[in-house]
Amino acid sequence: MKRGFSFSLPVTAVVSAIAFIYFCTVFIFIDRWFGLMTSHGILNAVVFTGVAVMCVFNYSFAIFADPGRVPSSFMPDIEDSKVSIQEIKRKGGDLRYCQKCSHFKPPRAHHCRVCKKCVLRMDHHCIWISNCVGHSNYKVFFVFIVYAVIACIYSLVLLVGSITNDSQKDEQQSADSFRITYVISGLLLVPLSVALSVLLGWHIYLILQNKSTIEYHEGVRAMWLAEKGGNVYEHPYDLGAYENLTTVLGPSIFCWICPASRHIGNGLRFRTVYDAISAASIST
């Protein structure tokens, strides 16, 4: 399901940055280093364009895709034997109910105050896509970060190569004409590369643990309370590193960096470690 979109300054800034970096990389860095009409220049331009296209495609999908809306007709079935876990409120122990949306919340769903709706497996609300990151668009958001990191580092390498090539040719007058572009690009690419790499590392960690950002912070509190009571807290959706990867990115490793997401299910029920324990006990 696609959603409506209104003007967003952060999104405009991201689109402008992508356009600026692409133009500078292809028509300045590659051209100054290799020349666009050479075989090396054409190869680098084609590869970088491919990365940029995938980056823009996944970014657009993350913006316009509905992150996962909780059906208004959803009702938790506490008698269903297939549902091994029902999330309850911290206080009172009742099933989780959203007063603002007037319906029950399935496991891992949370209400977003910005979007004013409950989002399935909500990770966080991202101002840079003017949308929530949730069950239906988490993978494309992650894949966008992967391509963005590749594009930034690739462009940064080409920038350094272009500057080095200019200095070796000793074309002072020609190099001076691109100096402002080099400076602006460096000031943009260096912090972007660092910030996006940190963000990528964070979400790789979350995927390996099968946690959302919200669940990570809730887990810190739950771990503290468990240790206080002499117990050990275990994240119920942690199925092991490989199973966690396939749950989020898909069963085929060749599709992990593709925007396909047919494997994700409806977002109302997720496999838990208790399912694996039950299956093991039945098999024995």
Residue 173 lies in a domain: no
Neighbours of 100 (CB within 10 A): 10
Alpha-helical regions (H) of the chain? 9-24, 31-33, 39-64, 138-169, 172-177, 179-209, 213-228, 241-249, 273-283
pLDDT in the model for residue 79: 55
pLDDT in the model for residue 252: 84
Domain that holds residue 253: 9-167+178-283
pLDDT in the model for residue 232: 73
pLDDT in the model for residue 149: 98
For the chain, 284 residues long, give each residue's pLDDT as a single digit of tens: 566 667 899 999 999 999 999 999 999 999 999 999 999 999 999 999 999 999 999 999 999 999 999 988 888 776 554 555 556 555 544 678 898 998 899 999 999 999 999 999 999 999 999 999 999 999 999 999 999 999 999 999 999 999 888 776 655 555 567 889 999 999 999 999 999 999 999 999 999 999 999 999 988 777 766 667 777 778 889 999 999 999 999 888 888 888 776 777 888 888 888 775 655 555 55
Residue 2 lies in a domain: no
pLDDT in the model for residue 85: 56
Nearest to 153 by CA among 59, 60, 48, 57: 48
- Report d(CA 18, CA 16) in Å as an integer: 5
C-alpha count within 13 angstroms, C-beta hemisphere, residue 219: 17
Total residues found in the chain within this entry? 284
Residue 244 lies in a domain: yes
- What's the structural domain count of the chain? 1
Residue 276 lies in a domain: yes
- Report d(CA 209, CA 149) in Å as an integer: 22
Residue 71 lies in a domain: yes
Catalytic residues: 126
Burial class of residue 57, CB neighbours in 10 A (0-12, 13-18, 19+): middle
Residue 51 lies in a domain: yes
- Report d(CA 208, CA 241) in Å as an integer: 5
